[in-house]
């Protein structure tokens, strides 16, 4: 099923974000050059008028960044909602047709791959069970995990969420516990339960704060909290990522979101670890 012709839009959005970032860097470079030029250079550049113009340009860049984020989120929402509606309509029509194969209809759809629209966190279709963290898993834990992973990549998100929950509970403390919580969150996010997904990501992060999925879990939690209208709490989780995982792709994404949310101007209180912030954690659990 073709969802929406957005394949050309996402690269355009990515290019726009890169252009905005480049312009922002150039503007910062100009500020540095102006500062290094001293009083004489300051006057030659136009004095206070030059500063005002640069401030106006920076404000406009911030506005463009926000608009780009809004457009990207709108595309993601349209894809999700349209896919759900079309699948429902297709299913109903198939029920009315005796010759229709319901089994084939319910097979996972891979035609939307390559749209460039990524829900964070997310597992791509056809992925294989992660390596490196399952070397010491018991055969039973590994088998349960692989079965849940197979369901996830088949698009059986509700079933996968339940199976990953069982892995985390039945093999609590095992090497795949954090992975199971993370992927449970991914499955829940794909069936439109972001708050429950955030709770699963929080449990996964708590189980292994330095694991391979820890940064992605924090990004997912921050996204859900931001969508619920609490940017300050989202900033707390985002700020943990560059501190814990510097130089990673997740760190770059977190720094971008910190800028978009203007976290530097928000009163974040003490440098308290977001993972032990009882108020933020309680909010997630209570919102389920």
Residues in the chain, total: 288
Per cent of the chain over pLDDT 70 is: 72
Residue 92 confidence (pLDDT) = 76
Residue 266 confidence (pLDDT) = 67
Q: Which residue has the higher pLDDT, 84 or 200?
A: 200
Mean pLDDT is highest, among 23-32, 64-73, 156-165, 245-254, for 156-165
Mean pLDDT of the region 203-224: 91
Residue 278 confidence (pLDDT) = 34
pLDDT > 90? residue 185:
yes
Residue 217 confidence (pLDDT) = 93
Residue 103 confidence (pLDDT) = 62
Mean pLDDT, the chain, whole residue set:
75
Q: Which fold has domain 139-286?
A: 1.25.40
Residue 13 confidence (pLDDT) = 63
pLDDT > 90? residue 163:
yes
- φ and ψ at residue 247, rounded to 5 degrees: 80, 0
pLDDT > 90? residue 129:
no
3-state percent helix, strand, coil for the chain, nearest multiple of 5: 70, 0, 30
Mean pLDDT of the region 6-14: 49
Asked if residue 254 lies in contact with residue 238, where contact means CB atoms within 8 angstroms, the answer is: yes
Q: Which residue has the higher pLDDT, 133 or 193?
A: 193
Mean pLDDT of the region 181-185: 94
Model pTM score: 0.53
pLDDT > 60? residue 82:
yes
Residue 155 confidence (pLDDT) = 85
pLDDT > 80? residue 84:
no
pLDDT > 50? residue 2:
no
Q: Largest alpha-carbon pair distance within the chain?
A: 84
pLDDT > 80? residue 219:
yes
What is the CB neighbour count within 10 angstroms for residue 202? Answer: 24
What is d(CA 148, CA 39) in angstroms, rounded to the nearest whole number?
66
Residue 270 confidence (pLDDT) = 42
List all residues 6 or more positions away from 175 whose beta carbon is below 8 Å from its beta carbon. 133, 134, 135, 136, 137, 141
pLDDT band at 111 (very low <50, low <70, confident <90, very high): very low
């Amino acid at each position: 099923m073709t969802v929406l012709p957005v394949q050309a839009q996402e690269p355009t959005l990515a290019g726009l974000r890169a252009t905005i970032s480049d312009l922002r860097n150039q503007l910062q470079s100009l500020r540095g050059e102006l500062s290094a030029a001293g009083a004489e250079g300051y006057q030659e550049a136009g004095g206070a008028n030059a500063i005002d113009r640069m401030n106006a340009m920076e404000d406009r860049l911030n506005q463009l960044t926000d608009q780009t984020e809004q457009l990207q989120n709108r595309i993601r929402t349209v894809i999700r909602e349209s896919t759900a509606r079309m699948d429902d309509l297709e299913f109903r029509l198939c029920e009315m047709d005796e010759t229709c194969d319901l089994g084939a209809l319910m097979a996972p759809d891979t035609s939307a791959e390559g749209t460039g629209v990524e829900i964070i966190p997310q597992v791509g279709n056809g992925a294989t069970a992660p390596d490196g963290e399952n070397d010491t898993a018991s055969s039973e834990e590994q088998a349960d995990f692989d079965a849940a992973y197979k369901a996830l990549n088949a698009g059986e998100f509700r079933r996968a969420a339940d199976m990953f929950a069982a892995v985390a509970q039945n093999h609590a403390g095992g090497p795949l516990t954090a992975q199971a919580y993370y992927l449970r969150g991914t499955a829940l996010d794909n069936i439109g339960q972001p708050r429950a997904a955030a709770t699963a990501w929080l449990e996964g992060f708590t189980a292994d704060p330095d694991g391979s999925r820890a940064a992605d879990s924090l990004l997912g939690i921050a996204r859900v909290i931001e969508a619920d209208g609490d940017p300050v709490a989202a900033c707390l989780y985002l700020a943990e990522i560059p501190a814990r995982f510097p130089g990673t792709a997740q760190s770059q994404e977190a720094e971008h979101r910190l800028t978009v949310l203007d976290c530097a101007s928000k009163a974040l209180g003490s440098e308290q670890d977001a993972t032990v912030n009882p108020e933020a954690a309680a909010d997630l659990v209570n919102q389920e």
